[in-house]
Structure formats: structure tokens, C-alpha cells
Amino acid sequence: MSEYIFKLPDLGEGTVESEIAEWFIAVGDQVNEEDVVGTMMTDKAAVELSSPVSGKVVKLAGEPGDIVAVGAPLVVFETDAAPPAAPEPAPAAKDAGAATKQARPEQPAPAAEAEPAPQPHAATLDRKRVMTSPAIRRRAKELGVDLAAVPGSGPGGRITRTDFDRYIRRQAVAGIAPQAPSAAAPAATTTEVKVIGLRRIIAERMAAAKREIPHFAYVEEIDITELEALRKHLNGKRADPSERLTLLPFLGLALIRALRDFPQCNTTYDKERNVLLRHGAVHLGIATQTPDGLKVPVVRNAHALSMDALVSEIRRVSQAAKDNSAKKEELSGSTITITSLGKLGGIVSTPVINQPEVAIIGVNRAVERPVVVNGQVAVRLMMNLSSSFDHRFVDGYDAAAMIQSIKEMLEHPATIFLPQ
């Protein structure tokens, strides 16, 4: 028997440390090579790590929420096989020694002679081989679902959120819907919830955005009666309900056209160099609520897309963010963001700018209201746009003028499609 130390590999993009998001193994488990051992959270995404060897888990680096430096021990295995040659560890992060409960590098040493240890109470589970997201693994655990029984349609058989939901529905129809273990009514106690993983990253970014950016809010009401009529007309020609249009792609097209006249809003701020980068291309961020929290997947080169292509790409990147199949590059690099709470949109909101951008466009709920049109009271479908701008780089006049340009296009939707 020998001891093999699996060290945290370089997860790319200059990562020097990573947070433990979730373990799929425990001390004493018998693990096969390539079994998924856990998930590490970087600033961009959750990354699943697989075991490089087969063996028994004898030590873990820490608990979810703890920080581990690249090159530091992550899992210690007791193994019979000769371990593969480990690459030289990457330099540890500055101040890595101060990271919470961070494990310290140890030299591998032969295990002491002892009686053969009994096998763990459970053999290696097939579910460790299943490719899926941490959110789906949690749902499966809560519902008592064996993921090995769920067919996956993603790359390499990965189980997507759609796959998992479809499986649950089929089980329900068959009368064998899985149920979470029964429990007594919860006591009126206080529960501690660690701020880790994506929630920690969201908290840090929101705090930094509000601390560093002087937000300028601008709210305008828009009569979208004609736009809604056009949307319903176009949807009437679409046989597939999943392909039907929402208001979002119309807003996206109007925003793209407006940015040609207001390039200062299609800008990102490089704080390190104190430089504004005005982008010719529009990389549209779509704020998306997911089971893991708020993410902003990106529609690349949205300015070059037709209506149908924009609709398809918004749907694709949003779904990828929800089921954790989005690639790292699909979750960064936006130049301006649209955010919407849908039916929960309320009357007005004050969206937080997605750094390093300088503007964000927020959509509120559409409601029918009596308004005066040409001296007569009429029922019109009204919707507010609640937007925020970085007042350091976008003047109030320019912000208002851009929203007015979007308002004009949405109230006269034919103009969205006119050549420019």
C-alpha cells in the first residue's frame, strides 16, 4: 500500500486558488480512477474534478467553503497501484497561508504496515461516474434519485436539467415519483447557512459594484401595446411553443441599434489600467436566475444576429447557465447587460451594474393601464424600463437620450427592423 496525494490542479485563466464547493466522497470511501470526487468553485464557474487513481480516501483538504491553493493537497488516497507521476505544483497564491482551513503540502510517505483494512460499508457508487452539475446532484440527493438511472443527452452523456426534470415527470406518471425522506416538522430554530460557492461570488461582486460605482438610475415608461400585438402575431405563425417570442429579443435588437449612437454605454472599464474600452461589437449579457443563483451568460456578437438567431442564442445560453453546462467563456466578456424579473418585475427596480460594464437595462412588469392618447382615455399595455449607469463615465443626458431612443423603437416596433 502507498499514499498518493492528489493536489489541486491549475483550473485555468490564471487561477491561483479555488473554493471547495461540494464533496462527492468522504473519508473511508473506496474510489475508482476517474470518479468525480468533488466540485471546486472559481470566479467563473464550478469545475468537477475526477480522481487520478483508484484507492481509499484517507484525508480531505477541508470542508465546503474552504479555500485551497493551486498545488496544495486536495485529497489523500491509500492505493495499491503505482501512482502516476504528478506534475510540479503551480506557485501558491499570495497570502495562501491565510486562507481558511487551507491544507498544507505534505510529502508522500509509505503507509505503515498494518492489518488489511476492511472494505468501506459501501462500494464505489456508479453515480460518481455520472456527469452532471452540482445543482442536479443536490436535487437528486434530496429526492432520493439514483443518477445512474437518468439518461443524459448532454456531451458525453452529461445529465442536463431538462433530462433530470423529464425523468422526474416520467416517474411521477408511472406512480413511482421519488420522494425526499420524511421528516418531522422543523423546529423554530435558527439555522446557519454558509456563504460559499456561487453565492459568495455574487455577494462579493455586488458589494464591489455598489462600493466602487456611483450608480445613476433612470426609469422610463413605455407603451408596448403595438409591440405586444406584433409579438402575438409572429407567435401565431410558430407551431413549436418552445420557439415563441418573448419581449426580450425585441428589447435586445432595440438596444443594439441604440448603442450605435451611444457607444459610451457599450463600454467596459479596465480599473487596473484606468482605461475605458469602447466596443464595436455588442456582447449582450442576459441576467439569468438559476438554481445556484444569478448568472450572466453572454450572447456573443449580438449585433450580427437576426431576430431568430438572437432568440435562439438567448434561449441556448440561458438554459446552459441554468443546467451548469455553460462554458467559462460563455459566462464572461459581456459589454452591456439586460436583466428582467419577468412577471415579478414590479413597477420599478434599481439594477446593479455588472462590472466592468458601465450600463445595465432592467425590464419591469407589463400591465394594462388607462392612459391619455390623443386627448382620449384608452387602455394601453405599459411597461417600465429601470436602468442604471456608471455616472463616472456616462452622463445623465446621454443615459436618458439612449433610453428615449429605445422607447421610440419599442413604441413603433417596425423601426426596429428598418435598415440603418
Q: Which domain holds residue 164?
A: 130-180
Return the percentage of the chain with pLDDT > 90, whole number: 47
Is 215 among the residues known to form the active site? Answer: no
Output the CA–CA distances (angstroms, integers) from residue 147 to 21, 166, 168, 179, in the order listed: 19, 13, 11, 14
How many domains in the chain?
3
Which of 307, 336, 335, 332 shows the shortest CA–CA distance to 317? 332
- Could you tell me which residue, 129 or 366, shows the higher pLDDT? 366
Residues 135, 281: one domain? no
Specify whether 292 is located in the same domain as 371.
yes
Split at pLDDT 50, 70, 90, the class of 189 is confident
The catalytic position among 66, 279, 391, 398 is 391
Kindly give, in sequence order, each residue whose CB lies less than 8 Å from that of residue 394, ignoring residues fewer than 6 positions away. 216, 264, 265, 358, 359
Q: Is 391 one of the catalytic residues?
A: yes
Structural domain contains residue 191: no
Q: Look at residue 97 and tell me whether its pLDDT is greater than 50.
A: no
Same domain, yes or no: 241 and 356: yes
Nearest to 279 by CA among 317, 339, 215, 333: 333
- For the domain that residue 15 is a member of, what is the CATH number? 2.40.50.100
**Annotated active-site residue in 80, 126, 270, 395:** 395
pLDDT given for residue 155 in this prediction: 66
137/219 same-domain check: no
Average pLDDT (229-258) is: 91
One domain for residues 49 and 121: yes
Q: How confident is the model over 39-67, as a mean pLDDT? A: 85
**Choice between 179 and 27, residue whose per-residue pLDDT is larger:** 27
Report the chain's C-alpha Rg in angstroms.
26
107 is a domain residue = yes
* pLDDT at residue 79 is higher than 80: yes
Asked whether residue 236 falls in the same domain as residue 175, the answer is: no
Return the pLDDT at 190.
Answer: 82
Q: Is the peptide bond before 356 cis (omega within 30 degrees of 0)?
A: yes
Whether 189 is covered by a domain: the verdict is: no
- Whether 198 is in a domain gets the answer no
172/89 same-domain check: no
pLDDT above 80 for 113: no
**Within this chain, do residues 286 and 314 fall inside the same structural domain, yes or no?**
yes
* pLDDT over threshold 90, residue 165: no
Residue 291 counted as domain residue: yes
Among the residue ranges 197-201, 302-306, 384-388, the one predicted with the least confidence is 197-201
Is 212 in the same domain as 340? yes
Whether 186 maps to a domain, the answer reads no
Same domain, 71 and 35: yes
Examine the domain organization and report whether 234 and 328 are in the same domain: yes
Q: What is the CATH number of the domain that holds 250?
A: 3.30.559.10
Look over the chain and give the mean of its residue pLDDT values, rounded to a whole number: 83
What's the confidence (pLDDT) of residue 129? Answer: 59
pTM of the model: 0.68
pLDDT over 90 at 362, yes or no: yes
pLDDT mean over 291-301:
92
Residue 235 and residue 367 in one domain: yes
Dist. CA 282–CA 300, nearest whole Å: 7
Residue 194 lies in a domain: no
Q: What percent of the chain has pLDDT over 70?
A: 83
